[in-house]
A and B are shown apart, each in its own frame.
Chain A
Amino acid sequence: MIFEILAVGLIISAVLALFLDEVIYSVAALAGIFFFTALIFIEYNAIFAAIFTFSVGVGTLAVLFLSGEMLGDKPTKKTSPKRVGTLIGVGAVLSLPAIFLSVSGSSGTNSDLLFGDALWNIRGLDVVLQAFVILTVALGIVVVLYEKKKKGGQ
């Protein structure tokens, strides 16, 4: 029952995030997506996944609130409550397949592999290398934005 409620909330948030006219409200709905995703992970006992989702979500939302306010075009008309209600209804309808349909498959194949073991013993090299990937991307973004600023200043 809890999964169904969270699924409905997730899909309604997704529909609102995509189809609301004002960017700031879309970003607020995106916060709902991250929130419901993390709750679904908690319900499936994936606590670490929930923590990562929360932390990545908070970072993404902070950046998006700033860039959404700075870069988003102002909509010509405000979103009416009727439109919001319609979008919520569409989201609820779209969530019906997730509630009533199910894919059969094997489950409960418990293995002894714990999260910490899997992270450091099997994927240890990946974990270290992805830190370098993120660092390289961050440096690349700084270089791109700096070049742009330099060209703009000339």
Chain B
Amino acid sequence: MDFVILSLVMLAIGIYGLLTNRQLLKVFISVELIATAATLNFVMLASALGVGLGQALLILAFSTDTAVSGVILALLVIVSKKYGTSDISKILQTIHDKDESEVEA
């Protein structure tokens, strides 16, 4: 069952990317990586055991993954249009500056 280690490595890379990347699109790719790791483990375990149910349940996992991707991309478009950047640090800085100027006013 070599695939368990492979999915663990993929999960670790995805979580590391989620925590360290400041680009919203890279964060989205990290989420995709984590979803891929879960799917890999799930489907390959079912295939190794010879159970067809694993692939059937994969469709459910894919629909959830697609829905999550759609929502993340919609939010990404809105945030990028509003702040003019997809860098999380710059967005937080803009929000911080705006709050400070409101307090001063």
Contacts and interface: CB of A to CB of B under 8 A. Distances in A.
B63 A134 contact: yes
Interface string A127-145: 1001101100110110011
Contacts of B66: 56, 59-60, 134
Interface residues of B, number: 62
Query: Which secondary structure characterizes the binding site on chain A?
Result: helix
Contacts of B33: 14, 17-18, 33
Interface residues of A, number: 74
B56 to A, nearest CB: 4
B56 A123 contact: yes
B43 to A, nearest CB: 5
A72 B57 CA distance: 34
Nearest to B53: A118
A137 B70 contact: yes
Nearest to B48: A107
Contact of B2 (A7, A34, A117, A131): A7
Of the candidates B33, B55, B74, the one having the most CB atoms from chain A within 10 angstroms of its own CB is B55
A80 interface: no
Interface string B1-25: 1111110111001101100010111
Interface of B: 1-6, 8-10, 13-14, 16-17, 21, 23-26, 28-30, 32-33, 36, 39-40, 43-44, 46-60, 62-67, 69-71, 73-74, 76-78, 80-81, 85-87
